[in-house]
Amino acid sequence: MTEKGFGCLGIIDGGGDLVGIVTDGDLRRHLGPDLLSRTVDEVMTRGPKTIAPDFLVGAALDLLNQSKITAVFVVEDAKPVGVVHFHDLLRIGVA
């Protein structure tokens, strides 16, 4: 999460479907002496917001703003194929 700078990790099931995310906010909410002994299932956000590959960039920006999130996974048939981060939109001059 830190290395890529996305602020989130996608969590997939055995079939490769996106089932949740762990965000830096999730980790902050669970901070405590037992954080490293908790399971991903205990700290992840289930059913994250997602978009399809053909989602318009402007609509992605609206989703990020309305949901007050900084990144959204791009999924195809419930499988993650990418991530759009607010910084990506800034870089291309959309935000």
Q: Average model confidence (pLDDT) for the chain?
A: 90
Domains and CATH numbers, the chain: 8-91 (3.10.580.10)
pLDDT of residue 79: 98
Spatial strand order in the sheet of 71-76:
50-51, 71-76, 79-85
7 has pLDDT over 90:
no
pLDDT of residue 35: 85
Instruction: Give the pLDDT mean for 35-52.
Output: 93
Q: What is the pTM of this model?
A: 0.84
pLDDT tier at 88, thresholds 50, 70, 90: confident
51 has pLDDT over 70:
yes
Q: Cβ(70)–Cβ(86) under 8 Å?
A: yes
